């Protein structure tokens, strides 16, 4: 059993697995691609792992990842809506 809580999500390049890292598991600093600030040792955060390219995983602040996910969902729904309109 993995010590990480994970969920599946859809990214622009395909499916991703999102793993929550608990504060006690965060033993290294990382740089968040959402805000370009450091994720400090001991700070809980998300690890986003592309299913098709797991070596491209990135560590995100939880809030940055939630904002990114909402933006992706919004962009996806706009694109889907435009495609539906064109099909009419």
Is the predicted pLDDT of residue 58 greater than 60, yes or no? yes
Query: What is the mean predicted confidence (pLDDT) over 45-74?
Result: 94
Closest CA to 39 of 54, 50, 49, 28: 28
Please check the confidence at residue 18 and state whether its pLDDT lies above 70.
Answer: yes
Q: For a pLDDT cut of 90, what percent of the chain falls above it?
A: 61
Sign, Cα dihedral of 19, 62, 52, 29? negative
**Residue-range domain boundaries for the chain:** 5-87
User: What is the model's pTM?
Assistant: 0.77
Q: Is the predicted pLDDT of residue 54 greater than 60, yes or no?
A: yes
């Amino acid at each position: 059993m993995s010590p990480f809580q994970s969920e599946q999500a859809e990214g622009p390049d395909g499916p991703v697995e999102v793993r929550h890292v608990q504060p006690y598991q965060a033993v290294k600093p990382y740089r968040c691609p959402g805000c370009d600030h450091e994720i400090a040792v001991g700070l809980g955060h998300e690890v986003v792992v592309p299913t098709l390219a797991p070596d491209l995983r990135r560590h995100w602040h939880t809030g940055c990842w939630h904002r990114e996910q909402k933006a992706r969902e919004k962009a996806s729904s706009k694109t889907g809506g435009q495609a539906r309109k064109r099909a009419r």
